[in-house]
A and B are shown apart, each in its own frame.
Chain A
Amino acid sequence: MYKQHRSLVELLTAIGLIAAPFILPYLNFAPNTVNRVLVWGLFGIGFDILFGYTGLLSFGQSALYGTGGFVAAYLLTQAGFPHVVLALVIGMVAAAVVGYLVGLIALRRTGIYFAMITVAIAEVFYFVEFNPLSEWTGGENGLPGVPTPTIDLGFFKHHFTTGWSLYPFLAFIYFIGIVIALRIVRSPVGAILTAIRENPLRAAAVGHNIHGYKLTAFVIAAAYAGLAGGLLGVLQAFMPPEAFTFDTSGQLVMQTAIGGRGTLFGPLVGAAVWLYLQDFLQATLGLGAAWKLVLGLVFVLLVCFLRQGIIGGLKDLYRLIFHRGGAEMEAPEESVPAAAMSVGAAATPLPVHHRVAEPAAGPILKANGVSKRYGGLLANSDIDFTVEQGELRGIIGPNGAGKTTFFKMLTCEVEPTSGKIEFAGRDITGMNVTDVCQLGLTKSYQVNQLFTKLTVRENLQIGALADLRGKFRLDLFRNPARIPGLGDQIEHTLELVNLKHRADTPVAQLAYGEKRRLEIGLALATSPSLLLLDEPLAGMSPQERVETVKLLKSIRQGRTMIVIDHDMDALFELAERVTVLQEGRVLTEGTPDEIKGNPAVREAYLGGVLE
């Protein structure tokens, strides 16, 4: 949504922050409430990068909020450190370091395990603050007397105090925070974080070190939390021990969900609603402690009925009003006449990015005695398999012959029980799928593994980024448009798989045949030198099959390909040699003509029917 006007969001934020003190008093916002909203909003920016963008729901942010807050407050109140801003920065760095260590533990697991571990972490920090560290943190008394900052530019000196006097300081920091966060989410790293949220397995399979990127998101969230924690002390002139409670984490999660996750501004909106309602319910309606019950109910209803929160709801409303014809415009293209669909025939083949010094001729892939055992089931047994540079190999075999398992071992998704696999002269046995993809070996999946909420172009970008940036790189502030060759590589792939006219359509709105082509495109975007295709024709109409076969022919130049499929006619037309698997073993291997005439193959397929 931010693409067209790159600085518009920043500009609007600045205007909003400047205008707020003139408008909000009329809406019964107390200055102190506005300041608290800013601190929660800042806290939430980092959390939203972690939760909204990367999909990691942490209930442990209070640990980092408290860490940053207490380090800054300790420096300012106990250690006699005079520079408020510097103390805040040190607190932020401390939180980031702690976040890194905590992330190492918490990110060992994903999903609900991750959530549970972060809950435990939050609780541990709370107890550590209260007991072992109470000499430094003041235990249940907290640290009173946190000073507010002064700026001294020589000719201009200003001391921020409380209320509206402190507001410019907090607003300025919030502004910087949002500008940085916007840069991050628009950077290549931001794109990859979204891909991890959508489909972590595929993000790893196209060659991104997802653990590293998750840890990055965790540390970014920790830094924001630490800075916000420090500001809480400044805001209240007191560092409260409650900063460390589990409730703090919970409140952050709820505010983010209320405002809208994955928007960066959601936490700010959520905090404004939350704190405003809290004041309103408590003071105006005299509900006392029941305010939290009302907010809890509001939250549950929002989660049930308005998944993307207030901002998401407003976006939907906007779309409903201004793009009523949207659905018709995006009719699937399946009715397009076949002639217009001449796949990739015109497009020049994508250059292969040779990362490894591959020999010009000779085998690119060698599997020696590869076996895979799942408990009592021997899926693959002692397979010897060699593919020459530039070859187009077909693999056929009845269902259950172990074709997919064999592919999974070649791409290192599963490790063989025994045997050895060599790619481009390198032993890749036991490597992981990410590293193997970085070497130039990847696969398109039998069942589509796409980043469903992203557009076609964004999907291909994820693949191309892995090729152009390597598996891990912290170019957090880089504009993807400035990465040399990225745009070309995406455009080129779009052309090859004939999805140019659908480039900005979200995957969820594509027709099945288009998704299958994108599946191949995603693998192609990593510019592999060896491409495995697991049943690329599965589920396609005869017309689509013809087109896809054309597509496969057009992409093979300079590239080695191995194709599994059940469509014999197509495969015999495509492949130079065909390997037949049966019951986990290589039955035979030869040219299509040899295979066609082989009685053993007929028997394997037709169950020994005599002619």
Chain B
Amino acid sequence: MFTWANFVSQMFNGLALGALLALISSGLTIIYGTLGVLNLAHGAMFMLGGYAGYVAFEATGSYIVAVAAGTLFLLVVGIVMERVVIRHFYGRPHEDQLLVTFGLGIVFVEVVRFFFSSLTKTVPAPPMMSGITSLGFMFYPTYRLAVVGIVAVALIVLYIVLYRTKLGMIVRAGIEDSLMVDSLGIDVYKVFMVVFGIGAMAAGFAGIVNAPVVSLTPDVGEAILVQTFVVVVIGGVGSFPGAVLGGLIAGEIISITSMIDPGYAYVMLFAAMTLVLLLRPHGLLGVRGRE
């Protein structure tokens, strides 16, 4: 049954999902752009962020603490993972990098399953943001509106870090030509570690912010990972604006198609990706440096 209110509401859902995908994809894409490693554990990191937040919430009852915990925990996970494992894979073929991050993703998921079982866990929205809000012509869940705002702020912070700081300049230069950055006397390994941490943090933050919207299971990251890939292919590898644009496009495609028939959401998403691959193989805003 098509109604305008329904349509607009789905548009909002698409915006919320799109913003979330944009944030997660930014993490994935700057890691790939800078380090040259495609992190197949990125979906699992999203999931870990949710669970870290869940644990913190159970202990303190505070949403703010939960968000902080989810974010910082993933910063630590990212840095440790880069130091202990990923570092040894820079000189190895892409396939090995894919295999090891894929394996780590499974380990993350199974560790969580071991401690928390496969049953769903929920983190409630903070009281201030729960309930529904009237937008004049329709009612919409307050927290979902809040998600759009929170994620938008996070994206702006990421933008400032990438485009207004020295670190960001190095990261963007590294995406175009990491050899050159290395020869300029910058310790790329330190930068790699920080970038991996930031990328993981973005996924973790998205994971805990999204936790009140959909309940947590150990497998929650898998679908997100796939959607993230589509976003990156559409937007162009290594491009932060591409990730944001791709995220919004993917979010809207999924939501609008779901209104008509949820079964076709992925088909449409895939069709969009194919179209981009045929017309603009490097993605809508792709950087050609890294490939």
Contacts and interface: CB of A to CB of B under 8 A. Distances in A.
Interface stretch (A120-128, A212-220, A424-432, A506-514): A120-128
Given A55-B95, A253-B102, A127 B107 contact: no
B261 A131 contact: yes
A466 to B, nearest CB: 25
Among A51, A128, A246, A303, the one with the most B-chain Cβ atoms within 10 Å of its Cβ is A303
A117 interface: yes
Given A108-B277, A132-B264, A299-B106, A120 B230 contact: yes
B96 interface: yes
B291 interface: yes
B93 to A, nearest CB: 8
B291 A111 contact: yes
B273 interface: yes
Interface in B55-99: 85, 88, 92-96, 98-99
A123 B85 CA distance: 28
Interface residues of A, number: 39
A296 B95 CA distance: 17
A105 B225 contact: no
B266 A127 contact: yes
B233 A120 contact: yes
A211 interface: no
Contact of A105 (B114, B237, B277): B277
A130 B261 CA distance: 13
A120 B229 contact: yes
Among B102, B264, B267, the one with the most A-chain Cβ atoms within 10 Å of its Cβ is B102
A58 to B, nearest CB: 11
B273 A120 contact: yes
A113 interface: yes
B103 to A, nearest CB: 4
Contacts of B278: 108
Contact of A290 (B92, B110, B273): B110
Contact of B267 (A116, A117, A128): A128
B107 A51 contact: no
A119 interface: yes
A127 B232 CA distance: 20
A502 interface: no
B229 A127 contact: no
Contacts of B96: 303, 307
Nearest to B268: A124
A296 B107 contact: yes
A250 interface: yes
Nearest to B222: A246
Nearest to A294: B110
Contacts of A339: none
B114 A289 contact: yes
B226 A123 contact: yes
B104 interface: yes
B85 A304 contact: yes
B222 A293 contact: no
- Interface of chain A, main secondary structure: helix
A257 interface: yes
A124 B267 contact: yes
Contact of A112 (B94, B100, B106): B94
A254 interface: yes
A300 interface: yes
A140 to B, nearest CB: 12
B233 A113 contact: yes
A293 B110 contact: yes
Contacts, number: 116
Interface string B224-262: 011001101100010000000000000000000000011
A292 B103 CA distance: 11
A329 interface: no
B99 A253 contact: yes
Given A131-B264, A293-B107, A115 B38 contact: yes
A57 interface: yes
A117 B277 contact: yes
Interface in B135-192: none
A120 B264 CA distance: 14
A297 interface: yes
A473 interface: no
B274 interface: yes
B222 A289 contact: no
A545 to B, nearest CB: 30
Given A116-B232, A246-B222, A292-B110, A257 B263 contact: no
Contacts of A289: 110, 113-114, 118
A503 B103 CA distance: 39
Nearest to B104: A300
A261 to B, nearest CB: 8
B266 A304 contact: no
Contacts of A300: 85, 100, 103-104, 107
Contact of A296 (B32, B110, B237): B110
Contacts of B223: 123
B111 interface: yes
A254 B229 contact: no
Contacts of A127: 263, 265-267
Interface in B116-133: 118
B267 A296 contact: no
A254 B103 contact: yes
B44 to A, nearest CB: 11
A109 interface: yes
Contacts of B99: 57, 253-254, 257, 299, 303
A130 B107 contact: no
A134 to B, nearest CB: 8
Contacts of A250: 102, 106
Contacts of A120: 226, 229-230, 233, 269-270, 273
Contacts of A116: 38, 229, 232-233
Nearest to A124: B270
Contacts of B225: 119
Contacts of B118: 289
B289 interface: no
Interface in B204-232: 222-223, 225-226, 229-230, 232
Contact of A109 (B100, B106, B266, B281): B281
Contacts of B274: 105
Contacts of B270: 120-121, 124
Contacts of B100: 300, 303-304
Contacts of A253: 99, 102
Interface string A269-309: 00000000000000000000110110011011001100100
B260 to A, nearest CB: 12
B281 A51 contact: no
Given A105-B274, A121-B270, A123-B266, A112 B38 contact: yes
B263 A51 contact: no
Contacts of A296: 103, 106-107, 110
Contact of A131 (B92, B111, B263, B291): B263
B48 to A, nearest CB: 14
A245 to B, nearest CB: 9
Contacts of A128: 263, 266-267
A246 B40 CA distance: 13
Interface of A: 51, 55, 57, 59, 105, 108-109, 111-113, 115-117, 119-121, 123-124, 127-128, 130-132, 246, 250, 253-254, 257, 289-290, 292-293, 296-297, 299-300, 303-304, 307
5 contacts: A112-B98, A117-B273, A293-B111, A297-B107, A300-B100
- Ranked 9 nearest A-B pairs via Cβ: A131-B263, A293-B110, A300-B103, A116-B229, A296-B106, A127-B266, A112-B38, A296-B107, A124-B270
Interface of B: 32, 38, 85, 88, 92-96, 98-100, 102-104, 106-107, 110-111, 113-114, 118, 222-223, 225-226, 229-230, 232-233, 237, 261-267, 269-270, 273-274, 277-278, 281, 291
Given A119-B229, A132-B267, A254-B102, 10 more contacts: A112-B237, A116-B233, A117-B277, A119-B225, A119-B226, A127-B265, A246-B222, A254-B103, A292-B113, A299-B99
